Amino acid sequence: MKALCWYGTNDVRISRVPDPRILNPRDAIVKVTLTAICGSDLHLLDGFIPTMKRGDILGHEFMGEVVAVGPGNTALKVGDRVVNPFTIACGHCFFCGRGLWSLCDNSNPNAGMVEKLYGQSPSGLFGYSHMMGGYAGGQAEYVRIPFADVGPIKVPDSLTDEQVLFLSDIFPTGYMAAENCNITPGDTIAVWGCGPVGQFAIRSAWMLGAGRVIAIDREPDRLLLAAHRGKAEVLDLTQVNVFEALKDLTGGRGPDACIDAVGLESHGSTIDDFYDRVKTKMMLATDRASTLRQAIHACRKGGTVSIPGVYGGFIDKVPLGAAFSKGLTLKMGQTHVHRYLRPLLNRIEQGEIDPSFVITHRLPLDDAPAAYDTFKEKRQGCIKVVLRP
């Protein structure tokens, strides 16, 4: 089959590889009908995530048709049309039992590897480095899904692929980011990053009762989408002092909750961003964090900073003193996608949201390498790329 493989920093290509096969009883094999490039895939492209190996198949947002089912899987049958969560979860451990699906204890074959870095291992992920399991991803014609009896959700034929694909990651991720804000009616929510996750965080904040949503980015196209489809007030961080602007907009109090939908490759315009760039270039730090600092700085006393943006390693100059003194709550982590599949599918079915609004580029899988570049450089107003194998 054809698959998008990673060969090194800024080097992804379409390769011919063997078809996947059933390896464990609960597996399923899916023929991919639609897949997407995630902002977090760019962290792989840019070489920020350790333990990648040449030839790894990328992609964790995908859906398709079940073509084979393992002998221990009675939940799926050949022909089922499913969307698959990007986190891999066994459904039976201490963590799955508590709804903490992205922290599943039993899905990472390389748990010992990540324990050295993080202390404990989160769940396995598709196409996201060997310390996260080394699972082949779904930017391919076929993909193997482990624990496929608890992950994939069957979707009705009345909805198109484009309407349901983002249940795999970015819609639940934006939704959980908003849920983590503990929104009470009327709250003001500030969202840094108007990429796909930010767009869904904005929409979700409204769903959960926000009174005001303020979106922050530097890309005019993304701010426009946040304003038009997200009904957010927008701040262009290249034009205004974000901290002062947020203070002014909230009578000096600051937003009730701040969402960092940017993560470890923040593009700031402040002195600390320059400092991060120097340190990461010199391998003295691994992540850039100007957004996180700004979110902590801007958040009102007693508020919440919610972090759906991915962080991978070490950052410094985190203003923990500000977080402490203002009594902030920090909430973060990979999305417990399984928890949100059914409720968010219901919202799509009821017409509350059509997630395809974020798609700007529709391309064949063969064009994936060029699409990565377009997405990374944010050319042609690129916000979200979907690929059809």
Partner 1 sequence: MRHLESVDRVTDTISHWRAKGPRGTVVEWDAEIINEVPNQVIGWRSLEGSDVVSAGSVNFDDEGAGRGTRVTVHLQYSPPGGKVGAALAKLFGRDAATEIREDLRRFKQQLEAGEVPTTAGQPRG
Q: Site for partner 1 (CB under 8 A): which residue of 112, 220, 333, 364? A: 112
Tell me the closest approach of the beta carbon of residue 125 to partner 1, in angstroms.
Answer: 12
List, in order, residues 6 or more apart from 38 with CB less than 8 Å away: 60, 61, 86, 169, 170, 196
Stretch that binds partner 1, among 39-47, 101-109, 157-165, 304-312 (CB under 8 A): 101-109
Nearer to partner 1, 27 or 219 (CB): 27
Q: Which residues pair with 24 in a beta bridge?
A: none
Stretch that binds partner 1, among 144-152, 216-224, 254-262, 278-286 (CB under 8 A): 144-152
Q: By CB under 8 A, is residue 138 in contact with partner 1?
A: no
Tell me the closest approach of the beta carbon of residue 121 to partner 1, in angstroms.
Answer: 9
Tell me the closest approach of the beta carbon of residue 53 to partner 1, in angstroms.
Answer: 8
Question: Residue 33 and residue 13: Cα distance in Å, rounded?
Answer: 19
Stretch that binds partner 1, among 90-98, 164-172, 197-205, 271-279 (CB under 8 A): 90-98
Which of left, alpha, beta for 336 (phi over 0: left; psi -120 to 50: alpha)?
A: beta
Q: What angle do CA 155, 160, 161 make, to 5 degrees?
A: 75
Contact pattern for partner 1 over residues 118 through 137, marking x by CB under 8 A? ------x--------xxxx-
Tell me the closest approach of the beta carbon of residue 135 to partner 1, in angstroms.
Answer: 6
Per the structure block, which two tokens stand in for 274?
């320059």
Stretch that binds partner 1, among 31-39, 139-147, 340-348, 375-383 (CB under 8 A): 139-147
Tell me the closest approach of the beta carbon of residue 101 to partner 1, in angstroms.
Answer: 13
Nearer to partner 1, 55 or 333 (CB): 55
List, in order, residues 6 or more apart from 239 with CB less than 8 Å away: none
Max distance between CA atoms of the chain, in angstroms, equals: 61
Stretch that binds partner 1, among 103-111, 199-207, 249-257, 336-344 (CB under 8 A): 103-111
Q: By CB under 8 A, is residue 54 in contact with partner 1?
A: yes
Tell me the closest approach of the beta carbon of residue 189 to partner 1, in angstroms.
Answer: 35
Q: By CB under 8 A, is residue 379 in contact with partner 1?
A: no
Nearer to partner 1, 15 or 33 (CB): 15
- How distant, in Å, are the alpha carbons of 13, 250, 341, 343, 364 from that of 171? 27, 27, 9, 11, 23
Question: Residue 90 and residue 105: Cα distance in Å, rounded?
Answer: 8
Question: Residue 215 and residue 235: Cα distance in Å, rounded?
Answer: 6
Stretch that binds partner 1, among 142-150, 184-192, 227-235, 352-360 (CB under 8 A): 142-150
Question: Residue 145 and residue 200: Cα distance in Å, rounded?
Answer: 25
Total number of residues shown for the chain? 389
Q: Site for partner 1 (CB under 8 A): which residue of 37, 49, 52, 57? A: 57
Tell me the closest approach of the beta carbon of residue 284 to partner 1, in angstroms.
Answer: 30
How many CA atoms lie within 13 Å of 75's alpha carbon, on the beta-carbon side? 16
Question: Residue 38 and residue 368: Cα distance in Å, rounded?
Answer: 12
Q: Site for partner 1 (CB under 8 A): which residue of 13, 228, 231, 342? A: 13
Residue with tokens 């999305």: 335
Q: By CB under 8 A, is residue 144 in contact with partner 1?
A: yes
Residue with tokens 């922290």: 103
Q: By CB under 8 A, is residue 108 in contact with partner 1?
A: yes
Nearest alpha carbon to residue 202 among 292, 306, 329: 306
Q: Site for partner 1 (CB under 8 A): which residue of 8, 47, 72, 186? A: 72
- How distant, in Å, are the alpha carbons of 263, 272, 326, 327, 331 from that of 322? 19, 16, 6, 8, 16
One-letter identity of residue 157:
D
The contact set with partner 1 (CB under 8 A) reads: 1, 3, 5, 7, 13, 15, 17-21, 23-26, 53-57, 72, 88, 90-94, 97, 105-109, 111-112, 124, 133-136, 140, 144, 146-147
